[in-house]
């Protein structure tokens, strides 16, 4: 098997800080925006959008200068948001080739993708580049793509592409010709070299490439040789592919502290869109979503919601987050918001024609979350019995619908059910020879007809004669012939009678 | 001249948007039934409780409502269906349910009013010692072994002011011969005793109003009914006094009936007195049973009695009055429940 000829695509997004911030702030996209960097009051413009540039704003302007322009949205640079956007872009690039190299600069995103041998699978280079840009655009980033057999040539061309061109392919062997009209700045020259070349009158890559190699090395050393090779598009390179971890995370730092839940959910909505897009690109779905809020009082508030099945239904996630945040309100205004998700495989449940009707898992999640908001977190679920003799012998577990059932063996055909009075009610009891004769329960007097007991429970286990609880089963009748069958408990320590359960 | 039939058709057509088939009696619906698991009751009910309708089980405490409802749920959950138990008074006993054969993993249990109780208890039990009983924080060591000031001069700061507070006017007044202006004394205020007066019986007799619990239960039931997919929903208002239970509006039961019909849920309502009225398809009245007398030392169980108090569509659609008294259906059944510790006889 012959090794396919080298071919590299280069993805380049300039004004990355501005693009990152505007990605999740849809309302600012149609306004001139600038991104400021640095400590107050020495902040300078580090990035801006096209509308800002058309207004006359330039890099390096101070905040005082920016204030002279009308209706400019001023944002602060956020490295964390840039990192999460970069992860998303690299992930997008990895959809086209497993070999991706991150070459990002301070204010621009740059990555090289090894696309050798992908022609049969993903189409010719131009189609691939356009598909790549299409996906990147869905993430909310405007970028350009170039393809060349030399990685450095592709990078140089991407940096020097004219404004309206999004894709350009350099035919094999035409590197020098294609790069010739590009300005020298695409090579990232040092100030010293820049000055030297301007003194020599060298302005484009073509002019640099035409310089004699020997004389250039004599004057500038090996660096000169490297620059000349870069200008000719034949600089050898070492491709260092990276292995990015698949992390579904989006972060936004809010421009002003937010307190209201609806405005927070508006942002969450946009971020969920992005997460779902990224998960879907890998044929995955979101299994759980975690919101981490950084609050004004330096605290963080985290809430995690899960659905019964991994799903990409945005409305469901928004509803679940809404209910969870309503049930567990945050204590201060929110400064920043991180949304992370765990991916899960998209699963389809095959239902049988004769299987019984079951609640739809997604619908059930929302219903349970709504009920939890009404009655409290611990009061909804299915009970699980603990292996204990204590009175509260159960715990609550989240209710899920499982297709397979566990066989239940009932020892008794029709057992008497009991209704347990959890907040045991005090009863006033009349005794006759140490046995209850009559009692008053809920303002009604009952005469005991039958009595069973006492059964002694509780007490000091090291003391064989000491017991703290007596349990009596009584059948009693009131004056209006109301029958009551109950379990009375006598606390011997405090000499108190309580109604524990009613047999029903 | 228009006939009565024409007028009737015209009226119905006019009202069709608001009241469909206003003057026509409802059509008889043959509903599928789900067995309760108690053979005697199933025989009287001709198969079991109706699916997609409200069944009301009325009876006092200890009349066997819970046992019958649990037996019904056990039958359903064992056939891989899911059920819900809305527990208004938080009295459901999972151990009883498990003993009855209910698959607890297929049972959604909604406990109402627990959170409010917990909060109430938490606020009651809050107790803090006054500061004077607590160990005072360690004094900050100054430059000269104690005191707060780095310089000895600072230790007497504010001393004159402190001394003058001890020398109040009433303390000085008797010693002085010259007439003093009368100082108006502040009337002493006695704070009322904040501790609650203990009750006569040393405990509460459920004074809390259960309306918040009922409201929670009704909201939860609404949500579960709307969601669908459950085979049975038991709304347990059996421990709620009739004066509170009857405050639930009839429109609520009417809505539940429509939802139950739509989602094909067997809706079982446990109450002490009839609440759902005409919205209930089947009304079972349970009577306090006689205790079984099998054993002298342990409580062994009950003999329960149930009567079908109301059932929809039982009348034959005929206007002719028969000469003979028509044969009556048996509408009373009895069955016995045994306590779990009684053993099989």
**Residue B248 gets which letter from DSSP?**
S
Label the pairing between strands A469-478 and A444-457.
Answer: antiparallel
What distance in Å separates residue B287's CA from the closest CA in chain A? 10
What distance in Å separates residue A486's CA from the closest CA in chain B? 8
Residue from B69, B86, B91, B218 to probe the interface with A (highest A Cβ count within 10 Å):
B91
Residues whose CB falls within 8 Å of the CB of residue A166, separated by 6 or more in sequence, listed in order: A130, A133, A143, A144, A145
- Residue A487's nearest CA partner among A442, A443, A405, A424 is A424
Give the pLDDT band (50/70/90) at residue B185.
low
CATH of domain B25-121+221-315+327-338: 3.40.50.300
Q: What is the pLDDT of residues B270-304, one digit of tens each?
A: 999 999 988 999 999 999 878 887 777 888 888 89
Residues whose CB falls within 8 Å of the CB of residue A398, separated by 6 or more in sequence, listed in order: A368, A381, A382
Q: Is the pLDDT of residue B179 over 80?
A: no
| Residues, chain A | 504
In A100-155, the DSSP E strands lie at: 100-102, 109-114, 144-148
DSSP string, A29-80: TTS-EEEEESSTTS-EEEEE-HHHHHHT--TT-BHHHHHTSTT-EEEE--HH
- A332 in helix, strand or coil? coil
- Tokens 């356009």 correspond to A130
Q: Is the pLDDT of residue A338 over 70?
A: yes
CB–CB contact A380 B110 (8 Å) = yes
Q: Which two tokens stand for residue B229?
A: 């997919």
* Structural domain count, chain A: 3
The answer to the question of residue A431 being in a domain is: yes
| Last-in-domain residue among A315, A345, A375 | A345
Q: How far apart (Å, rounded) are the C-alpha atoms in residues B331 and B329?
A: 6
Q: How far apart (Å, rounded) are the C-alpha atoms in residues A23 and A29?
A: 8
Contact criterion met (CB below 8 Å) for A144 and A110: no
**Selected residue with higher pLDDT from B148 and B114:** B114
Q: Is the pLDDT of residue B125 over 60?
A: no
Give the pLDDT band (50/70/90) at residue A47.
very high
Residue from A319, A415, A499 to probe the interface with B (highest B Cβ count within 10 Å):
A415
Res B202: pLDDT: 35
CB–CB contact B103 A405 (8 Å) = yes
Contact criterion met (CB below 8 Å) for A491 and A468: yes
CATH number, domain of A285, equals 3.30.1490.100
Domain of residue A482 covers 418-503
Compare all CA atoms of chain B with the CA of A383 and give the residue at the minimum distance: B104
A287: left (phi over 0), alpha (psi -120 to 50) or beta: alpha
- Indicate if A215 and A253 belong to the same structural domain: no
Peptide bond into B260 cis (omega under 30): no
| Last-in-domain residue among A345, A377, A403 | A345
Q: What is the pLDDT of residues A116-163, one digit of tens each?
A: 988 888 899 999 999 999 999 999 999 999 999 999 999 999 999 888
Nearest by CB to A382, which of B65, B96, B108? B108
Res B144: pLDDT: 53
Helix (H) or strand (E) holding A395: strand A394-397
Contact criterion met (CB below 8 Å) for A337 and A250: no
CB–CB contact A381 B108 (8 Å) = yes
DSSP string, B125-172: H-----GGGSPPPPPPP-TTSSSS-SSGGGGGTTHHHHHHHHS-HHHH
The answer to the question of residue A15 being in a domain is: yes
- Indicate if A310 and A252 belong to the same structural domain: yes
Give the pLDDT band (50/70/90) at residue B197.
very low
- Indicate if A227 and A252 belong to the same structural domain: no
CB–CB contact A394 B95 (8 Å) = yes
- Indicate if A121 and A199 belong to the same structural domain: yes
The answer to the question of residue A405 being in a domain is: no
Give the pLDDT band (50/70/90) at residue B194.
very low
Res A12: pLDDT: 94
Q: Which two tokens stand for residue A325?
A: 């945040």
**Residue A166 gets which letter from DSSP?**
-
- Indicate if A86 and A163 belong to the same structural domain: yes
Q: Is the pLDDT of residue B188 over 50?
A: yes
- Tokens 């009325």 correspond to B58
- Indicate if A219 and A293 belong to the same structural domain: no
Helices in A250-382 by DSSP H: which ranges? 261-281, 314-327, 361-375
Other C-beta atoms lying within 10 Å of the C-beta of residue A2: 4
CB–CB contact A375 B112 (8 Å) = yes
What's the average model confidence in pLDDT over B157-168?
A: 70
What's the average model confidence in pLDDT over A272-295?
A: 91
Res B204: pLDDT: 34
CA distances from A299 to A130, A156, A259, A295, B202 (A): 44, 46, 14, 5, 45
CATH number, domain of A204, equals 3.30.70.270
**Selected residue with higher pLDDT from A208 and B27:** A208
- Indicate if A256 and A219 belong to the same structural domain: no
Q: Is the pLDDT of residue A408 over 70?
A: no
Q: What is the pLDDT of residues A85-118, one digit of tens each?
A: 999 999 899 889 989 999 998 889 999 999 998 8
Average pLDDT, chain A: 88
| Last-in-domain residue among A177, A208, A232 | A232
The answer to the question of residue A32 being in a domain is: yes
Residues whose CB falls within 8 Å of the CB of residue A452, separated by 6 or more in sequence, listed in order: A472, A473, A474, B297, B298, B299
Does A412 contact B at CB distance below 8 Å?
yes
**Which chain A residues are Cβ-neighbours of B80 within 8 angstroms?**
355-356, 403, 405
Q: What is the pLDDT of residues B57-82, one digit of tens each?
A: 999 888 999 999 999 999 999 888 99
Q: How far apart (Å, rounded) are the C-alpha atoms in residues A123 and B21?
A: 65
Q: How far apart (Å, rounded) are the C-alpha atoms in residues A277 and A282?
A: 9
- Indicate if A23 and A169 belong to the same structural domain: yes
CA distances from A358 to B57, B76, B79, B80, B82 (A): 25, 12, 12, 9, 7
Contact criterion met (CB below 8 Å) for B303 and B334: yes
Give the pLDDT band (50/70/90) at residue B205.
very low
Least confident of A11-15, A493-497, B109-113: A493-497
Residues paired with residue A311 on neighbouring β-strands, in sequence order: A286
Q: Which two tokens stand for residue B203?
A: 């405990």
What distance in Å separates residue B60's CA from the closest CA in chain A? 8
The angle subtended at Cα B14 by Cα B13 and Cα B19, nearest 5°, is 85
Compare all CA atoms of chain B with the CA of A409 and give the residue at the minimum distance: B101
Res A328: pLDDT: 85
The answer to the question of residue A3 being in a domain is: no
- Indicate if A228 and A257 belong to the same structural domain: no
Res A410: pLDDT: 57
CB–CB contact A419 B202 (8 Å) = no
The answer to the question of residue A362 being in a domain is: no
CB–CB contact B97 A383 (8 Å) = yes
- Indicate if A47 and A160 belong to the same structural domain: yes
- Tokens 């228009």 correspond to B2
Q: Is the pLDDT of residue A481 over 50?
A: yes
Label the pairing between strands B332-338 and A380-385.
Answer: unpaired
**Selected residue with higher pLDDT from B202 and A34:** A34
**Selected residue with higher pLDDT from B83 and B289:** B83
Contact criterion met (CB below 8 Å) for B256 and B54: yes
Q: What is the ipTM of this complex?
A: 0.72
In A64-165, the DSSP E strands lie at: 73-76, 100-102, 109-114, 144-148
All structural domains of chain B with their residue ranges: 25-121+221-315+327-338
What's the average model confidence in pLDDT over A46-60?
A: 90
**Which chain B residues are Cβ-neighbours of A363 within 8 angstroms?**
227-229
Q: How far apart (Å, rounded) are the C-alpha atoms in residues B311 and A352?
A: 34
- Indicate if A330 and A473 belong to the same structural domain: no
**Which chain B residues are Cβ-neighbours of A370 within 8 angstroms?**
223
- Tokens 């002279």 correspond to A68
- How much is the pTM? 0.72
Nearest by CB to B115, which of A355, A364, A379? A379
DSSP string, A169-190: E--TT-HHHHHTTSBGGGG---
Does A351 contact B at CB distance below 8 Å?
no
Other C-beta atoms lying within 10 Å of the C-beta of residue A495: 7
The answer to the question of residue A400 being in a domain is: no
Nearest by CB to B201, which of A370, A422, A428? A428
What's the average model confidence in pLDDT over B253-262?
A: 93
Does A388 contact B at CB distance below 8 Å?
no
Other C-beta atoms lying within 10 Å of the C-beta of residue B69: 28
First to last CA, chain A: 81
Contact criterion met (CB below 8 Å) for B244 and B210: yes
Least confident of A80-94, A281-295, B116-130: B116-130
The answer to the question of residue A277 being in a domain is: yes
Q: Which two tokens stand for residue A263?
A: 């405005």
Average pLDDT, chain B: 80
Q: What is the pLDDT of residues A358-370, one digit of tens each?
A: 888 888 988 999 9
Q: Which two tokens stand for residue B293?
A: 């007398």
- Indicate if A166 and A205 belong to the same structural domain: yes
Res B120: pLDDT: 60
DSSP string, B6-72: HHHHHHHHHHTTTSTTSSSPPPP----EE--S-HHHHHHTTTSEETTEEEEEE--TTSSHHHHHHHH
Q: How far apart (Å, rounded) are the C-alpha atoms in residues A337 and A301?
A: 10
**Residue B334 gets which letter from DSSP?**
E
Res B124: pLDDT: 56
CA distances from A104 to A91, A108, A109 (A): 14, 6, 5
Q: How far apart (Å, rounded) are the C-alpha atoms in residues B144 and B66?
A: 77
């Amino acid at each position: 098997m012959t090794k396919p000829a080298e071919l590299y695509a280069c993805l380049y997004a300039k004004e990355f800080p501005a693009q990152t911030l505007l990605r999740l702030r849809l309302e600012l996209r149609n306004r001139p925006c600038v991104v400021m960097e640095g400590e107050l009051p020495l902040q300078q413009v580090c990035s801006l959008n096209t509308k800002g540039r058309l207004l006359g704003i330039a890099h390096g302007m101070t905040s005082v200068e920016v204030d002279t322009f009308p209706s400019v949205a001023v944002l602060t640079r956020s490295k964390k948001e840039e990192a999460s956007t970069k992860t998303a872009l690299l992930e997008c690039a990895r959809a086209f080739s497993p070999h991706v190299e991150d070459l990002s600069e301070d204010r621009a995103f740059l990555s090289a993708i090894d696309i050798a041998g992908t022609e049969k699978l993903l189409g010719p280079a131009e189609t691939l580049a356009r598909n790549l840009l299409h996906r990147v655009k869905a993430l909310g980033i405007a970028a350009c793509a170039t393809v060349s057999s030399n990685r450095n040539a592709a990078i140089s061309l991407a940096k020097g592409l004219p404004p309206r061109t999004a894709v350009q392919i350099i035919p094999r062997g035409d590197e020098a010709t294609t790069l010739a009209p590009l300005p020298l700045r695409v090579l990232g020259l040092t100030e010293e070299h820049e000055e030297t070349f301007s003194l020599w009158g060298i302005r484009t890559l073509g002019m640099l490439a035409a310089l004699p190699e020997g004389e250039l090395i004599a004057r500038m050393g090996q660096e000169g040789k490297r620059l000349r090779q870069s200008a000719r598009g034949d600089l050898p390179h070492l491709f260092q592919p990276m292995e990015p971890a698949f992390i579904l995370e989006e972060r936004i730092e809010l421009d002003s502290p937010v307190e209201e839940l609806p405005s927070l959910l508006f942002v969450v909505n946009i971020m969920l869109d992005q997460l779902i897009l990224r998960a879907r690109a890998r044929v995955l779905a979101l299994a759980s979503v975690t919101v981490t809020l950084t609050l004004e009082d330096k605290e963080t508030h985290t809430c995690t919601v899960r659905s019964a099945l991994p799903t990409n239904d945005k409305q469901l996630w928004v509803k679940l987050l809404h209910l969870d945040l309503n049930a567990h309100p945050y204590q201060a205004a929110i400064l920043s918001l991180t949304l992370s998700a765990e991916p899960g495989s998209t699963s389809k449940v095959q239902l049988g024609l004769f299987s019984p009707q079951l609640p739809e898992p997604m619908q059930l999640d929302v219903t349970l979350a709504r009920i939890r908001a009404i009655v409290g977190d611990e009061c909804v679920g299915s009970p699980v019995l603990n292996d204990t003799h204590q009175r509260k012998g159960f715990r609550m577990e989240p209710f899920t619908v499982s297709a397979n059932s566990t066989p239940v063996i009932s020892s008794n055909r029709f057992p008497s059910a009991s209704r347990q009075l959890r907040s045991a009610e005090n009863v006033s009891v009349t005794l006759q020879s140490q046995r209850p004769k009559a009692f008053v329960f809920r303002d009604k007097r009952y005469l005991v007809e039958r009595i069973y007991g006492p059964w002694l429970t509780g007490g000091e286990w090291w003391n064989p004669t000491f017991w703290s609880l007596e349990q009596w089963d009584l059948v009693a009748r009131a004056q209006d012939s109301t029958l009551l069958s109950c379990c009375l408990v006598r606390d011997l320590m405090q000499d108190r009678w309580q109604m524990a359960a009613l047999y029903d | 001249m228009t006939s009565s039939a024409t007028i009737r058709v015209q009226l119905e057509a006019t009202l069709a948007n608001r009241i469909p088939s206003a003057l026509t009696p409802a059509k008889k619906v043959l509903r599928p039934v789900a067995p309760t698991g108690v053979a005697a009751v199933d025989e009287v009910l001709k198969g079991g409780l109706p699916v997609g309708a409200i069944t009301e089980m009325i009876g006092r405490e200890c009349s066997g409502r819970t046992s019958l409802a649990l037996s019904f749920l056990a039958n359903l959950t064992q056939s891989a269906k899911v059920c819900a138990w809305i527990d208004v008074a938080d009295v459901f006993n999972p151990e009883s349910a498990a003993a009855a054969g209910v698959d607890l993993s297929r049972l959604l249990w909604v406990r109402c009013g627990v959170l409010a109780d917990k909060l109430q208890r938490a606020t009651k039990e809050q107790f803090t010692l006054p500061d004077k009983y607590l160990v005072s924080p360690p004094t900050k060591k100054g430059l000269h072994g104690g005191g707060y000031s780095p310089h000895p001069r600072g230790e007497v700061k504010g001393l004159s002011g402190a001394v003058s507070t001890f020398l109040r006017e009433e303390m000085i007044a008797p010693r002085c011969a010259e007439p003093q202006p009368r100082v108006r004394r502040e009337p002493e205020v006695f704070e009322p005793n904040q501790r609650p007066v203990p009750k006569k019986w040393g405990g509460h007799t459920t004074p809390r109003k259960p309306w918040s619990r009922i409201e929670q239960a009704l909201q939860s039931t609404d949500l579960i009914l709307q969601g669908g997919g459950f085979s049975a929903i038991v709304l347990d208002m059996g421990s709620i006094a009739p004066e509170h239970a009857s405050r639930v509006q009839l429109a609520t039961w009417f809505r539940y009936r429509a939802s139950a019909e739509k989602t094909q849920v067997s809706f079982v309502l446990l109450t002490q007195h009839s609440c759902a009225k005409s919205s209930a398809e089947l009304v079972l009245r349970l009577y306090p049973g006689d205790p079984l007398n099998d054993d002298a030392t342990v409580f062994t169980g009950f003999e329960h009695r149930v009567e079908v108090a109301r059932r929809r569509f039982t009348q034959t659609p005929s206007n002719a009055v028969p000469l003979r008294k028509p044969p009556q259906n048996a509408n009373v059944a009895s069955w016995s429940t045994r306590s779990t510790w009684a053993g099989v006889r």
